[in-house]
């Protein structure tokens, strides 16, 4: 595959960025949840 | 005081007009006494235009891009002027006091916008003069008409957007760096339209004056849209 | 910060997850794998573009979802401003959607740039669509910055809601002016070259799959981020409550 570098880089950037953001959101919410009792979360 | 969008529409239009007059007069009076526009903003804009000459380093290029440079220098100056226009209000909490006294927000918006527009017109006039001197721009009487109408529409649009976004960021920490980030993308149409119209007025690159009028149309649409948007949105923005 | 009621969140405890998001997450992961397999390996190269069309399977869905995200932000902002539906949940949805939108748009700009490098030899061109996209990107970064200005939750919500609606007004204006500006320069001919794709069945399916996967990703991300924002706001509120309680206790103690 010619230009394979660009193409693979695109996929890595795309799913990598999404994954990194997802991880960041989960970690952020775990940090905030430490001080909030479980029963107060409105979506549960 | 109702804090819905509806509450910001003028219930009493003469109160709005009276407020606008008072606020505009106040802002212009402050400018006349402090002379910030003349002593600080204008020199800044002129230095910017000189810097362009250093950066571009070619008489031919300068003459060709003179219209764009005039409006770029204007845009940068708007950032400074808007910041000041609201620093004046928030310094002693004047804006909050005006609001709690029941002064119509639409009137405040129109007043500040008009004052800003007048100052911008003065600035643009002087910068066009600088362009004639520094970049060897030139224009005919017919071009002058296009130039004046363009300046009116462009400064009106810039004043509307500036006042609106200035009000949005007013009193917030980090305002100084936030305002440029918010304002510059929004005023891109003004930069494009004003530059093209001014190009026609100057006759740069042999562009006919008639080609400039559609761009004036764009500027007029922009000015109207954002004047209305500002008049409507200013109230909810200021409400707490 | 009150530490006496702080509990460690065990690794097994899902904070913002629900059975629904767990199922959704599994679907997303499976979809991503399928998309990568199809996009990178199984689907054929394009007659005109060659292998670079593979980037489109990530670029195009990303761009579309970014626009969708900004529409959601605008609608949620309007819902917040309208008295009858005013609720901070709308504000948080608007914020979460804008964040995901900026993420997708950034990805879209980068992958589009890489595609352009292969197809046209340049990383950037000033055609109307690209330029407007860049403006949209910067505008929403400004929106996120305004959300971080501080103040009460209601102040944040109102400021950002007005800004989101102004952005909806401004973007068509920018697009229209840039379009007009561009017809003067006729650089569109550069953009026209090589963009005609004659898609066969499998390529169309892969593109469609891309849109589906990205949509699911968007929903998953916004749900979690919106809940995360809710937790942050609740923390702010409880922090304020704790501070007030502590202050009152202090005052009573001093009064004695």
- Percent of chain C's residues with pLDDT above 90: 48
Task: Tell me what ipTM this predicted complex has.
Answer: 0.91
Give CA–CA dist B171/C151, Å, rounded.
Answer: 10
Give CA–CA dist B236/C158, Å, rounded.
Answer: 7
pLDDT for res C3: 44
Give CA–CA dist C111/C89, Å, rounded.
Answer: 33
Assign residue C134 a region (left: φ > 0; alpha: ψ between -120 and 50; beta: otherwise): alpha
**pTM of the predicted model over 0.80:** yes
Cα diameter, chain C: 87
Residues of chain A with Cβ-Cβ distance to C52 below 8 Å are: 3, 6-7
Token digits of residue C140: 């929403």
Chain A touched by C21 (CB under 8 Å): no
* C81/chain A closest Cα distance in angstroms: 22
Alpha helices by DSSP H, C120-200: 128-147, 153-185, 188-192
Chain B touched by C170 (CB under 8 Å): yes
- CA angle in degrees (0–180, nearest 5) for B13-B15-B20: 95
For residue B2, being part of any structural domain is answered with no
Contact B229 C163 (CB under 8 A): no
pLDDT for res B148: 94
pLDDT for res C194: 46
DSSP 8-state class, residue C50 = B
Give CA–CA dist B73/B110, Å, rounded.
Answer: 24
pLDDT for res B1: 42
Give CA–CA dist B221/C176, Å, rounded.
Answer: 12
For residue B100, being part of any structural domain is answered with yes
Chain B touched by C139 (CB under 8 Å): yes
**Residues A2 and C45: beta-carbon distance below 8 Å:** no
What residues pair up with C50 in beta bridges, in sequence order?
Answer: C46
Contact B192 C145 (CB under 8 A): no
pLDDT for res C11: 60
**Residues C149 and B174: beta-carbon distance below 8 Å:** yes
For residue B5, being part of any structural domain is answered with no
Q: How many domains does chain B have?
A: 1
pLDDT for res C197: 57
For residue B3, being part of any structural domain is answered with no
pLDDT for res B3: 46
Give CA–CA dist C72/C194, Å, rounded.
Answer: 33
**Residues B127 and B49: beta-carbon distance below 8 Å:** yes
CB contact burial C11-41 (16+ within 10 A = b; e otherwise)? eeebbbbeeebeebbeebeebbeebbebbbe
Whole-Å CA distances, C38 to C25, C32, C58, C94? 20, 10, 12, 33
Residues of chain B with Cβ-Cβ distance to C151 below 8 Å are: 172
- Percent of chain A's residues with pLDDT above 70: 95
CA dihedral (C179, C185, C189, C190) positive or negative: negative
Give CA–CA dist B45/B74, Å, rounded.
Answer: 7
Residues of chain A with Cβ-Cβ distance to C37 below 8 Å are: none
Domain definitions of chain C by residue range? 58-190
pLDDT for res B6: 46
For residue B1, being part of any structural domain is answered with no
φ/ψ of residue C197, rounded to 5: -110, 125
Token digits of residue C174: 């920018």
* A39/chain C closest Cα distance in angstroms: 11
For residue B219, being part of any structural domain is answered with yes
Which of these, C61, C69, C90, lies nearest to C78 by C-alpha position? C90
**All residues at 6 or more sequence positions from B45 whose CB lies less than 8 Å from its CB, including other chains:** B73, B74, B76, B77, B123, B126, B127
Which residue stretches of chain B have pLDDT < 50?
Answer: 1-7, 9
**Residues B158 and B78: beta-carbon distance below 8 Å:** yes
Give CA–CA dist B87/B176, Å, rounded.
Answer: 10
For residue B81, being part of any structural domain is answered with yes
Which residue stretches of chain C have pLDDT < 50?
Answer: 1-5, 187-194
Which of these, B150, B166, B161, B153, lies nearest to B226 by C-alpha position? B161
**Residues A5 and C204: beta-carbon distance below 8 Å:** no
For residue B88, being part of any structural domain is answered with yes
- CA angle in degrees (0–180, nearest 5) for B128-B134-B135: 80
> The domain containing residue B162 runs over which residues?
12-238
Residues of chain C with Cβ-Cβ distance to B168 below 8 Å are: 146, 159, 162-163
**All residues at 6 or more sequence positions from B53 whose CB lies less than 8 Å from its CB, including other chains:** B62, B134, B135
């Amino acid at each position: 595959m010619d230009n394979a570098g660009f193409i693979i880089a695109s996929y890595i950037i795309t799913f990598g960025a999404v994954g990194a953001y997802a991880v960041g959101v989960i970690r952020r919410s775990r940090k905030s949840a430490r001080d909030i009792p479980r029963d107060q979360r409105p979506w549960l | 005081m109702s804090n819905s969008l509806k509450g910001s529409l003028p219930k009493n239009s003469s109160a709005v007009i009276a407020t606008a007059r008072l606020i505009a007069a106040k802002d212009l009076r402050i400018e006349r006494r402090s002379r910030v526009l003349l002593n600080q903003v204008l020199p800044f804009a002129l230095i910017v235009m000189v810097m362009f000459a250093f950066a571009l380093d070619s008489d031919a290029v300068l003459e060709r891009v003179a219209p764009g440079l005039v409006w770029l220098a204007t845009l940068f100056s708007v950032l400074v002027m808007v910041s000041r226009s609201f620093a004046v209000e928030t310094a002693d909490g004047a804006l909050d006091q005006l609001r709690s006294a029941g002064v119509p927000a639409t009137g405040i918006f129109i007043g500040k916008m008009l004052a800003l527009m007048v100052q911008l017109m003065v600035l643009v006039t002087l910068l066009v003069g600088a362009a004639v001197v520094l970049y060897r721009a030139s224009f005919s009487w017919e071009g002058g008409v296009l130039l004046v109408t363009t300046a009116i529409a462009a400064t009106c649009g810039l004043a509307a957007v500036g006042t609106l976004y200035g009000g949005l960021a007013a009193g917030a920490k980090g305002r100084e760096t936030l305002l440029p980030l918010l304002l510059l993308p929004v005023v891109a149409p003004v930069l494009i339209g004003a530059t093209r119209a001014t190009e026609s007025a100057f006759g740069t690159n042999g562009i006919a004056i008639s080609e400039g009028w559609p761009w004036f149309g764009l500027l007029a649409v922009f000015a109207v849209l954002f004047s209305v948007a500002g008049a409507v949105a200013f109230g909810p923005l200021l409400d707490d | 910060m009150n530490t006496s009621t702080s509990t460690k969140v065990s690794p097994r405890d899902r904070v913002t997850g629900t059975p629904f998001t767990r199922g959704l997450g599994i679907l997303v992961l499976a979809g991503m794998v399928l998309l990568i397999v199809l996009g990178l390996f199984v689907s054929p190269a394009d007659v005109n573009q060659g292998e670079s069309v593979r980037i489109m399977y990530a670029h195009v869905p990303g761009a579309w979802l970014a626009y969708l995200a900004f529409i959601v932000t605008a609608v949620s902002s309007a819902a917040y401003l309208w008295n009858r539906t005013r609720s901070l949940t709308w504000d948080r949805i608007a914020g979460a959607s804008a964040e995901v939108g900026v993420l997708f748009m950034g990805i879209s700009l980068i992958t589009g740039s890489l595609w352009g490098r292969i197809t046209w030899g340049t990383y950037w061109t000033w055609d109307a669509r690209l330029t407007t996209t860049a403006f949209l990107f910067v505008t929403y970064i400004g929106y996120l910055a305004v959300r971080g200005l501080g103040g009460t939750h209601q102040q944040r919500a109102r400021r950002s809601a007005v800004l989101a609606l102004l952005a909806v007004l401004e973007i068509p204006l920018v697009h229209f002016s840039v379009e007009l500006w561009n017809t003067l320069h006729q650089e569109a001919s550069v953009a026209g070259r090589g963009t005609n794709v004659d898609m066969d069945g499998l390529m169309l399916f892969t593109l469609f799959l891309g849109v589906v996967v990205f949509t699911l990703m968007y929903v998953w991300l916004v749900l979690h981020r919106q809940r995360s924002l809710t937790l942050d706001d609740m923390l702010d509120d409880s922090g304020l409550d704790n501070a007030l309680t502590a202050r009152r206790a202090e005052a009573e103690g001093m009064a004695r």
